[in-house]
Amino acid sequence: MIFEQEDFKVFDEQTLDGRMQGIRAVIDPKFEQLAKVILPLLSEDGQAWYAHIAKHLRRTTNPPENTWVAFAPNKRGYKMMPHYEVGMWDDHVYIYLAVEENMKPVSTQKIVAQMTKARELVAQLPATFTLSQDHMVNKTEPLTLARYDVAVQKFAETKHSEVLIGLQIMKSDYETLSFEDTNHIMATFKALRAIYEIIK
């Protein structure tokens, strides 16, 4: 198992330097390990994919409340396109297909049309999937088609809005469940792949 309950203790550190030291020493190596497994699987169709581990370089005072690795078919970056994201908060690991605000304003109309086109596939996702409208806020809601439609409409009309759909693995699950992280993550990516193909 790549992630362990012990890893969440990184977020107990309240200083910027202390938490960043923990992220770089504990979590980033886990993301690197994950990337070595996930990237070849994502690239099986011939499209090259790249891993981008969050660096939090703009942080000067407050420690990051979450951290992540993004997967995108672009070596230079990921924020300007739909991408997959695996991240950690102090209480869960998340696995998302993400459309973030950095795609605006140039691509807003196009991506909204594509997300609307994908709504029937969203309706078919498992009931365990969740919806987030901001990857920097630890707040999610159950993913329903009605909530998805509202989030897409908000993305179209509001500057600071995002649409992220996927799965959460709670901190407590790492005590009670027995699963292999990479298999679980890749299964989630596969469940989201048809949607990604529409919105990419």
Residue range 118-132, pLDDT digits in tens: 999 999 999 999 999
What is the residue whose two structure tokens read 């690197």? 32
Q: Is 83 left (phi over 0), alpha (psi -120 to 50) or beta?
A: beta
Tell me what the pLDDT averaged over the chain comes to.
Answer: 93
Q: Given this model, what pLDDT does residue 181 score? A: 85
Output the furthest CA–CA distance in the chain (Å, rounded): 45
Instruction: Dump pLDDT digits (tens) for 57-93.
Output: 888 889 999 999 999 999 999 999 999 999 999 999 9
- DSSP symbol at 89: -
Q: Which amino acid is at 103?
A: M
The pLDDT assigned to 175 comes to: 76
With residue 108 as reference, give the H or E element that holds it.
Answer: helix 108-117
Nearest Cα residue to 155 out of 83, 85, 96, 107:
107
Checking if the pLDDT of 193 tops 80, the result is yes
Radius of gyration, alpha carbons of the chain: 16
Who contacts 82 (Cβ-Cβ below 8 Å, separation ≥6)? 97, 98, 99, 103, 111, 196, 199, 200
- pLDDT interval class at 170 (50, 70, 90): very high
CA angle 50/195/105 to nearest 5° reads 75
Half-sphere exposure of 62 (CA within 13 A, CB side): 3
